[in-house]
């Protein structure tokens, strides 16, 4: 009687062989793979069956592959049938063209006229920047000037949207020492009366008129009308940038600015402002415009606006449609002050 059962040793050998095959096909990360005729099939982490060709080291490079040593060669990229400058042009250059590639038709839109006819109109894309379109305000550039500050005061930092750049570094100048400030302080400003005071307004531009009714003081830099503005304390007010406009009206007032502490002692003086002149229009007078940082957080509580004898002896020359024109400097004037909002 024959026995059809396999010996136990044979069954054990077959079992071990199957185990070796299964272990050979295992891949870490939940994927399994088997190799056959130069390809291997594997299952990704989403359960999809994938096929990938096996590239052996002894196999020559195929025509559809870039050799490893040539991947960084510019000539290979330039001559590549797909990855070249025609298919992938320079992004900045393409933006300047309104994202219209060479040889491609201009973009167009269709519309219906009054008679019901469908018409097509081509247009040139608007490639201006968001600043040029007026959607984003350009960053404020502080006005270059001569600055004198008290030596025992740390160099203040202008708190601005998007960062805290050093105000004097932005101005492109360095502190010129405290000798001038000390001499100027001997003539100002503890004797100032606080009756004619304008409070600072953060929510709007406000005016300051210097005329026959304004207070007068004999500064070290000369006799001048002046305006006194009170700024909230540093705990109530963060540092900011002031826009100062002086309007032309049969002459113009050229301002200098002094910043005082709570005891009315000068801590900083800004003079020789290289202000920009904005021409007049049909609804507005021309004006000199300056942007100056103010530091309530560093003890500046009062703003004094005045002019100097040196400024009164000079004039501002502008050029408009009528050609070069000189504007005389005056002791009186009308000014506008506002807090710059960069957002």
pLDDT by residue (tens digit) across 197-241? Answer: 899 999 999 999 999 999 999 999 999 999 999 999 877 888 999
What pLDDT is recorded for position 253? 97
pLDDT in tens, 92-136: 777 667 777 776 777 777 888 888 888 888 777 776 666 566 666
- Output b/e per residue, 129-165; b: 16+ Cβ within 10 A: eeeeeeeeeeebebbebbbbbbeebeebbbbbeeeee
pLDDT at 22 over 90: no
CA distance 339 to 202: 6
What pLDDT score was predicted for residue 7? Answer: 52
342 touches 162 (CB < 8 A): yes
pLDDT in the model for residue 162: 39
Q: Where are the domains of the chain?
A: 8-53, 146-339
Cβ atoms of residues 117 and 111 within 8 Å = no
Tokens of 267: 């801590």
Give this prediction's pTM. Answer: 0.58
Distance, CA of 156 to CA of 158 (rounded, Å): 7
CA separation for the pair 107, 122 (Å, rounded): 6
Report which secondary-structure segment, H or E, holds 154. none
How far apart, in whole angstroms, are the C-alpha atoms of residue 310 and residue 313? 5
Please report the pLDDT score of residue 321 as a whole number.
78
Instruction: Say which residue, 35 or 302, is predicted with more confidence.
Output: 302
The Cβ of residue 185 has, within 10 Å, a number of other Cβ atoms equal to 20
The model's pLDDT over 138-165, given as tens digits with 9 standing for 90+, comes to: 678 899 999 998 866 544 544 444 344 4
- Of residues 204 and 171, which shows the higher confidence score? 204
**By three-state DSSP, how is residue 168 classified?**
helix
Cα(172)–Cα(169) distance, integer angstroms: 5
pLDDT at residue 36 in the model: 43
Instruction: Please tell me the predicted confidence (pLDDT) of residue 62.
Output: 44
Residue 305 β-bridge partners: 227, 257
If one counts every other C-beta atom within 10 angstroms of the C-beta of residue 183, the result is 12
User: Which one is predicted more confidently, 170 or 311?
Assistant: 311
Model pLDDT, residue 236: 80
Check: CB of residue 156 under 8 Å from CB of residue 282.
Answer: no
Give the tokens for residue 130: 């968001």
Note the pLDDT of residue 16: 46
Which of the residue ranges 63-77, 84-98, 280-294, 327-341 would you say has the lowest mean pLDDT? Answer: 63-77
Q: What is the pLDDT of residue 293?
A: 94
CA dihedral 288, 243, 159, 136 (to 10 degrees): -90
Does residue 277 contact residue 219 with C-beta atoms inside 8 Å?
A: no
* pLDDT, tens digit (0-9, with 9 covering 90-100), for 280-329: 888 889 999 999 999 998 999 999 999 999 999 999 998 877 788 899 99
Question: Does 265 score more than 70 pLDDT?
Answer: yes
| Residues 6 or more apart in contact with residue 25 via CB below 8 angstroms | 32, 33, 34
Of 305, 292, 294, which Cα lies nearest the Cα of 333? 305
CA 92 to chain centre: 19
Three-state DSSP class for residue 336: strand
């Amino acid at each position: 009687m024959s026995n059809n059962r396999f010996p136990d040793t044979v069954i054990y050998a077959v079992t071990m062989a199957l185990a070796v095959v299964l272990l050979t096909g295992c891949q870490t990360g939940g994927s399994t793979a088997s190799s056959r005729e130069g390809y291997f099939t594997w299952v990704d982490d989403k359960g999809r069956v994938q096929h990938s060709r096996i590239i052996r080291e002894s196999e020559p490079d195929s025509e559809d592959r870039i050799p490893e040593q040539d991947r960084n060669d510019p000539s290979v990229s330039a001559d590549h049938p797909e990855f070249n400058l025609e298919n992938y042009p320079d992004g900045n250059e393409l933006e300047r063209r309104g994202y219209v590639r060479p040889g491609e038709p201009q973009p167009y839109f269709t519309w219906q006229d009054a008679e019901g006819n469908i018409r097509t109109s081509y247009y040139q894309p608007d490639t201006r920047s968001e600043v040029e379109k007026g959607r984003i305000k350009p960053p404020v550039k502080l006005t270059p000037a001569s600055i004198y500050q008290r030596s025992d005061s740390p160099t203040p930092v202008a708190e601005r949207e998007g960062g805290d750049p050093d105000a004097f570094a932005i101005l492109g100048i360095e502190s010129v020492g405290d000798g001038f400030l000390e001499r100027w302080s001997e003539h100002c400003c503890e004797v100032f009366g606080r009756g004619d005071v304008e409070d600072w307004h953060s929510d709007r531009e406000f005016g300051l008129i210097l005329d026959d009714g304004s207070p007068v003081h004999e500064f070290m830099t000369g006799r001048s009308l002046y305006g006194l503005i009170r700024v909230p304390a540093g705990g109530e007010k963060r540092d900011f940038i002031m826009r100062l406009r002086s309007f032309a009206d049969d002459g113009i007032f050229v301002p200098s600015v002094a910043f005082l502490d709570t005891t009315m002692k000068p801590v900083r003086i800004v003079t020789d402002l290289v202000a920009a002149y904005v021409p007049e229009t049909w609804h507005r007078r021309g004006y000199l415009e300056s942007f100056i940082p103010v530091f309530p957080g560093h003890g500046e509580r009062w703003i004094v606006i005045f002019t100097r004898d040196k400024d009164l002896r000079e004039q501002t020359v502008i050029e408009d449609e009528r050609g070069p024109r000189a504007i005389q400097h005056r002791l009186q004037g009308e000014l506008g002050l506002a807090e710059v909002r960069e957002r």
